[in-house]
Structure 1
Amino acid sequence: MAECRRKFYPNCNGNVWLRSCEVEVTDSLEGQITGEFPSWLQGTLLRNGPGSLNVGSMRFKHLFDSAALLHRFHIHDGHVTYQCRFLQSNTFKKNRAANRIVVTEFGTAAVPDPCHTIFDRIAALFNPGESISDNAMISLYPFGDEIYAFTEGPVIHRIDPVTLETMERKNLTESVALVNHTSHPHVMANGDVYNVGMSVVRGRLLHNVVKFPFTEKGDMFAEAHIVASVKPRWSMNPAYMHTFGMTENYFVLLEQPLSVSLVGLVRSQLTNQPISSSLHWYPEQETHVVLLGRESGKEEKRYRTETLFFLHIINCFEEDGNVVVDVCAYKDAKVIDAMYIHAIESMQSNADYAEWFRGRPKRLEMSLVAPPLTRVEPKLLADLGCETPRIHYDLYNGRPYRYFYAISSDVDAENPGSIVKVDTVTGETKSWWDKDCYPSEPVFVPSPQAKEEDEGVVLSALVSSADERAVWLVLLDARELRERARALFRTPSPAPKCLHGWFLPREPGPC
């Protein structure tokens, strides 16, 4: 009996991922301030992530299925306020109206609908923007002065950055025929936005890089166009991609051996199975790094490396005749399984769970004069787990850089709820943690007229395993990773842990 009660990871509490918000915060809560938020820090941190696992008496089976919840931390003259609202996606509205899960998700099958015939399901295959879930619960990105919530489906949602209201729904299959895209587009200094997705062009499936050119008066989506394309390594099993990279001259795609079976995807649509049933991991296959020329729009270089799985690229850049790709790498795709609700609930009795999350930051350094399909051996940047990495994005995205910030992915660490900073030049690491607290993705904000790469602050939303209705915004000095200030909020219902977000340095409307 003693063995049954043993906890493999006594310092880690996965329940922070299992909370469901019951009451939205539409009127701003005023934060209880400890320390001092610098006077130069004015703006809004927007966050996105899983908000509710429950629909009536039903429950989602995977973290990626949870209803999207938007968060807003507004910083103004040393004061901080907080709001949260559910994204009003079609999926959310349908589920709430039916009081049950009626739209199939990544890991959860919907209740059977007797009104949908096999012919309806076949027709839906040709309209993925309307037939699959539009629950955009991963990230938030700006397109000009507009903010959109993302997932990997073709639909994105415009939100009001002041009220968090859902304002507009964009189906990208209608503008650039994308049947999916990554959750992490790249936003250029001039306002252009790039993303990678899959399209069917003249009967062929292609990985396409799409450019959404910035325009002050026009429609960035109407002007969207494909700027680079490559055939998938496996035509019927394209590689799964959550992020991609950009350098001065190249788009960087990692074709990993976690693939999407097109046959399986069709089967899942016809038989109402979760999308995850079409994913397959091929452990005998290597990972390929593909460089697409930004000018040519075509594949120019391809390299091989060890079998690895990734969700997030940290940064890519060119230096001394090489292309460098830094990535949060796993040995396999078990981290996807680790985010099933049952896996989270049973983690304390699963001796393998920590290994499922055992990611490490690795560097791939590839010579531009190397022969085709040269094998590249990854180099370890630091021996610690890291996820949701962020850099000094405005100045160093796609350029040589030194520092990145992330949250710990080592559930068996002494302090699993840590924010980490890695020096990619020296390998030195710093970490910050607070007892029973779990931070979200750390967002770097540079100081005005900063002269050093890490001159600024790091912002992160914290939740507590000891108090499910406490939310903090913590501010750390980016150089030493020491706490300078925090704001505490008491929410009217449980506060779930969020994923990704964006900092708006200028407030688009009144506080």
Structure 2
Amino acid sequence: MGRSLFSIVILALLTFAHAEPDPPTSSWLRHCEKDTPTPVKGVVEGVVPAWLEGRLTRVGPGARHVGDTSYRHLFDPLALLHLITVQGGEVTYTSKYLDSDAYRANMEANRIVVGGFGTAPFPDPCRTLFDSVASWFSRPPKIMDNCLVNVLQVKDQMVAMTETDEVRVVDPETLDTLGDKLTISEYVAVRQATAHPHVDPDGTVYNLASSGNRNGPTYNIISLRNGEIEQAKMEASINARWRFHPGYMHSYAITENYFILLETPFTFSIGALLAGQYFGKSFEEAMVWFPNEKVHFRVIDRRTGQEHPTTFTSDAFFTFHHINAYETSDDMLVIDVSHIQSGEIVKSLYYSNLKKANDDPTKLKFDSVAKRFILPLGDVSGMPDESELLEGVPDAKVENRAGDSASAKKVSDNTIHLEALTLNPIFFEMPRINYDYNGKQYRYAYGASNEGMVLDFTTLVKLDVKTGEEKVWTDPAYFVSEPVYVASPDSKSSGVEDDGVVLSLLLHRTNPRLISFLVLDAQNFNQIAKVDFEAQGTVTPTFHGQFVSSFDQVHGY
């Protein structure tokens, strides 16, 4: 006789209850239930170059849930550090949660009591109605030190950063969190700092920060000699164009003579920020996109700290990441960015949107392409209005895109309006370069691309900014991460810009515990080696990171 219907149903329920859940369709929906604090030795396919010795450290969102509460935005989960160590022919993988004040507070409460960019703290479910109403008028904990955006090697220590004035020091070999948090505002008058600093060849670290004075919000450049926060110094400070709506900036550019800030019309409403502190609102809910306003290119002289007298504008767009910038011999400033049509892109990073099927027409898509703006820095007062100022400028075109050109038109004696050149129409995000060419004329940029403008990165791209041509690497079994360029020992003497390797971390699409270390030849973009690791828990994607060579004294990006 066959089984009864009842027994079949019970068997099916038991099977379902004990089956491994399907991995999320998006890597960004993963949650790391257990980190991998003990180094795991990898299985090598191919040959890792003998000269490649050092550490690739990356950071990103790790824990999406705390107790019964969940983070709502991709910029908020608890920070998880990942470390690939390459030494003596052996490659190992380690991961560890950042032991921040935010991590401890949330874990001790078993709920999210310290929120983030798009997640407000969750109230205590045991509070009475009176307590809940009273809590509206007491300031909740701020986003503190959940440093999940980037890392920076400083001497023999590593600093984890996010978009606040608080950083954490990490042991670069074990990923242990060391000592108490460091607060930048204790040493220089700023309120927040970005997580995309620049490092000069002498080891001086420059970063973009924000503050305010009697005239309203300010954008500031600070320097840290030898990377030490205790030696922080204000290099420049300029006022935001709008008193109650400072622009949101994720990164900036630097050249030999200039700091370049892009003040887009994606802003924080000061009024909404202040009100939100008392009514349980997140930072993102205080942000406003003004699509009919202009972008202002704020160019600051590094020697004087003064802003260039010309106002440079373009139609509205947004960017998270600068690619590079450089000056030319004919007094032009070239600025390459990953260009996004709208600041509303930040809303596409809510988990409620990331969970939607890719073919869902209501799903907000993520668009980003490499574009170039060129700013004429010379005196144009003798030229008539509407003059095109980039006629015959070589950098205003790429070789394989006939008819497309950057534009700079004089609007008045002190205003020039810019239009961008598209370097290549492929999706291009998380851009990196050979950092020896940072702020200098360069030819190659490396980035991550995707399918159908969804956020999961599936392809690595090498972009030739002179010709507009691209080379790609992809494997349908993996998601990719931000590419990191590492120059070979001979590249400085040879002067060959792409003489080196490109590194990336790969996440297996169907095995959430499998992570791989990828090594590509930077010139032909072919795979040299792949090293596979089995982690102790689910591996989550990362935002940014840094390779620290065993042989370098100063560590850039």
Query: Please, what TM-score do these two structures have when normalized by structure 1?
Result: 0.91
Q: Does 1:208 align with 2:220?
A: yes
Give the whole-Å Cα distance in 1 for the aligned partners of 2:115 and 2:276: 10
Give the whole-Å Cα distance in 2 for the aligned partners of 1:204 and 1:259: 14
What is the aligned partner in structure 2 of residue 443 from structure 1?
484
What is the aligned partner in structure 2 of residue 495 from structure 1?
539
Correspondence list, 1:63-102, <5 A:
63-102=74-113
- Whether the 8 Å contact between 2:289 and 2:344 is mirrored in structure 1 is no
Give the whole-Å Cα distance in 1 for the aligned partners of 2:354 and 2:93: 28
* 1:279–1:14 Cα change, 3 Å: farther
What is the aligned partner in structure 1 of residue 307 from structure 2?
299
Of 469-478 and 402-411, the range deviating more from structure 2: 402-411
What is the aligned partner in structure 2 of residue 381 from structure 1?
423
* 1:422–1:278 Cα change, 3 Å: same
Q: CA deviation at 1:188?
A: 1.1
| Match 1:308 to one of 311, 317, 323 | 317
Give the whole-Å Cα distance in 1 for the aligned partners of 2:293 and 2:96: 42
* 1:132–1:178 Cα change, 3 Å: same
- CA deviation vs aligned residue, 1:422-444 (integer Å, no higher than 9, x gap): 00001110000011311111000
* Percent identity (aligned): 34
Give the whole-Å Cα distance in 2 for the aligned partners of 1:14 and 1:265: 34
Q: Secondary structure at the match of 1:173?
A: helix
- CA deviation vs aligned residue, 1:193-235 (integer Å, no higher than 9, x gap): 01111112356421110011127xxxx2222111111100111
Q: Does 1:365 align with 2:374?
A: yes
Q: Secondary structure at the match of 1:133?
A: coil
Of 230-239 and 19-28, the range deviating more from structure 2: 19-28
Give the whole-Å Cα distance in 1 for the aligned partners of 2:248 and 2:457: 28
Opposite residue 323 of structure 1, the aligned amino acid is: L
Opposite residue 397 of structure 1, the aligned amino acid is: N
Opposite residue 48 of structure 2, the aligned amino acid is: F
Q: In angstroms, what is the RMSD of aligned CA positions?
A: 2.0
What is the aligned partner in structure 1 of residue 229 from structure 2?
221
* 1:250–1:507 Cα change, 3 Å: closer
Opposite residue 466 of structure 1, the aligned amino acid is: T
Q: CA deviation at 1:410?
A: 4.2
Q: CA deviation at 1:412?
A: 5.2
Q: Secondary structure at the match of 1:463?
A: strand
| Match 2:205 to one of 180, 189, 193 | 193
Q: CA deviation at 1:63?
A: 0.9
- Whether the 8 Å contact between 1:144 and 1:191 is mirrored in structure 2 is no
| Match 1:348 to one of 358, 370, 376 | 358
What is the aligned partner in structure 1 of residue 266 from structure 2?
258
Q: Does 1:330 align with 2:340?
A: yes
Q: Does 1:506 align with 2:550?
A: yes
| Match 1:155 to one of 166, 169, 184 | 166
Opposite residue 42 of structure 1, the aligned amino acid is: E
Q: Secondary structure at the match of 1:309?
A: coil
Q: Secondary structure at the match of 2:446?
A: strand
Opposite residue 298 of structure 2, the aligned amino acid is: V
- CA deviation vs aligned residue, 1:63-102 (integer Å, no higher than 9, x gap): 1111100000000122210000001111111100111111
* 1:191–1:148 Cα change, 3 Å: same
Q: CA deviation at 1:153?
A: 1.1
| Match 1:473 to one of 486, 509, 517 | 517
Q: CA deviation at 1:13?
A: 7.3
Give the whole-Å Cα distance in 1 for the aligned partners of 2:451 and 2:441: 27
Give the whole-Å Cα distance in 2 for the aligned partners of 1:167 and 1:202: 37
Give the whole-Å Cα distance in 1 for the aligned partners of 2:222 and 2:232: 7
The higher radius of gyration belongs to 2
Opposite residue 375 of structure 2, the aligned amino acid is: M
Q: Does 1:405 align with 2:446?
A: yes
- Whether the 8 Å contact between 1:143 and 1:193 is mirrored in structure 2 is no
- Whether the 8 Å contact between 1:417 and 1:436 is mirrored in structure 2 is no
Give the whole-Å Cα distance in 2 for the aligned partners of 1:381 and 1:412: 18
Write out the 4+ residue segments of structure 1 that deviate beyond 6 Å after TM superposition.
none
Q: CA deviation at 1:339?
A: 1.1
* 1:507–1:469 Cα change, 3 Å: farther
What is the aligned partner in structure 2 of residue 482 from structure 1?
526
Opposite residue 195 of structure 1, the aligned amino acid is: N
Q: Does 1:112 align with 2:123?
A: yes
Q: Secondary structure at the match of 2:305?
A: coil
- Whether the 8 Å contact between 1:107 and 1:274 is mirrored in structure 2 is yes
Give the whole-Å Cα distance in 2 for the aligned partners of 1:75 and 1:132: 34
Q: CA deviation at 1:265?
A: 0.8
Give the whole-Å Cα distance in 1 for the aligned partners of 2:377 and 2:357: 44
| Match 1:50 to one of 47, 61, 79 | 61
Opposite residue 312 of structure 1, the aligned amino acid is: H
- Whether the 8 Å contact between 1:26 and 1:84 is mirrored in structure 2 is yes
Please list every run of 5 or more consecutive structure 2 residues that lacks an aligned counterpart in the other structure: 1-22, 125-130, 381-412, 553-557
Please list every run of 5 or more consecutive structure 1 residues that lacks an aligned counterpart in the other structure: 1-11, 125-129
Q: CA deviation at 1:409?
A: 4.2
Q: CA deviation at 1:44?
A: 0.3
Give the whole-Å Cα distance in 1 for the aligned partners of 2:154 and 2:137: 37
Opposite residue 478 of structure 1, the aligned amino acid is: A
Q: Secondary structure at the match of 1:337?
A: helix
Q: Does 1:184 align with 2:196?
A: yes
- CA deviation vs aligned residue, 1:344-378 (integer Å, no higher than 9, x gap): 11142423647x31211000011112442200110
Give the whole-Å Cα distance in 2 for the aligned partners of 1:120 and 1:357: 37
Opposite residue 421 of structure 2, the aligned amino acid is: K
Instruction: Kindly tell me the number of residue pairs found equivalent between the two proteins.
Output: 483
Q: Secondary structure at the match of 1:96?
A: helix
Q: Secondary structure at the match of 1:93?
A: helix
Give the whole-Å Cα distance in 1 for the aligned partners of 2:479 and 2:190: 35
- Whether the 8 Å contact between 2:151 and 2:159 is mirrored in structure 1 is yes
What is the aligned partner in structure 2 of residue 60 from structure 1?
71
Give the whole-Å Cα distance in 2 for the aligned partners of 1:391 and 1:416: 18
Query: Please, what TM-score do these two structures have when normalized by structure 2?
Result: 0.84
- Whether the 8 Å contact between 2:138 and 2:278 is mirrored in structure 1 is no
Opposite residue 370 of structure 2, the aligned amino acid is: P
Give the whole-Å Cα distance in 1 for the aligned partners of 2:374 and 2:476: 38
Opposite residue 93 of structure 1, the aligned amino acid is: R
What is the aligned partner in structure 1 of residue 388 from structure 2?
none
Give the whole-Å Cα distance in 1 for the aligned partners of 2:229 and 2:513: 39
- Whether the 8 Å contact between 1:36 and 1:78 is mirrored in structure 2 is no
Q: CA deviation at 1:18?
A: 1.1
